Amino acid sequence: MLGFDTTRCPKECESPGPLTITVVVVSAIDLQDGVVVSEQDKPWVIRLHTGRPFVITLRNPPCGPPWARLTSTNETIIVPLQTAVLSADGIQQRFLADGSGRGGVYAVGPGCPTFACPGSPYIGFTFLVSV
């Protein structure tokens, strides 16, 4: 029988810390389109298999300019399937994980041709695509 010693506990487990659970609810139509990626996914490397469609949906920042476009950093790995749909609430675009490797998608505000524009909102996502 395998187990662990409950009589000794390192200092970090003496007092419980806060637990945060993020629940994302999507519609059946969103699931047909593939994986849904949003602001909550920013700090993670998102792993997908080739051939997997996904949707990036972002709400506009509460202060400052809205999102203007989403851009793939490597269209041989992350392929746009449609142009971005802009709304008063935010931006949404479908992509396909097409080739294996590391790729990214970033979103920027209006008037920003790259991801390095002072005063423009920016968010980037990293994808690792495998067969």
Residue 84 DSSP class? P
Return mean pLDDT, the chain.
76
Tell me the CATH architecture of domain 34-130.
Sandwich (2.60)
What distance in Å separates the CA atoms of residue 127 and residue 46, rounded to the nearest whole number? 5
Q: Are 55 and 30 in contact (CB under 8 A)?
A: yes
Position 31 pLDDT exceeds 90: no
Structural domain boundaries in the chain: 34-130
What distance in Å separates the CA atoms of residue 61 and residue 124, rounded to the nearest whole number? 14
What is the predicted pLDDT for the residue at 65?
85
What is the predicted pLDDT for the residue at 96?
92
- 6-15, 17-26, 38-47, 48-57, range with greatest mean pLDDT: 48-57
Position 69 pLDDT exceeds 80: yes
Q: Are 128 and 46 in contact (CB under 8 A)?
A: yes
Position 118 pLDDT exceeds 90: no
What distance in Å separates the CA atoms of residue 43 and residue 1, rounded to the nearest whole number? 38
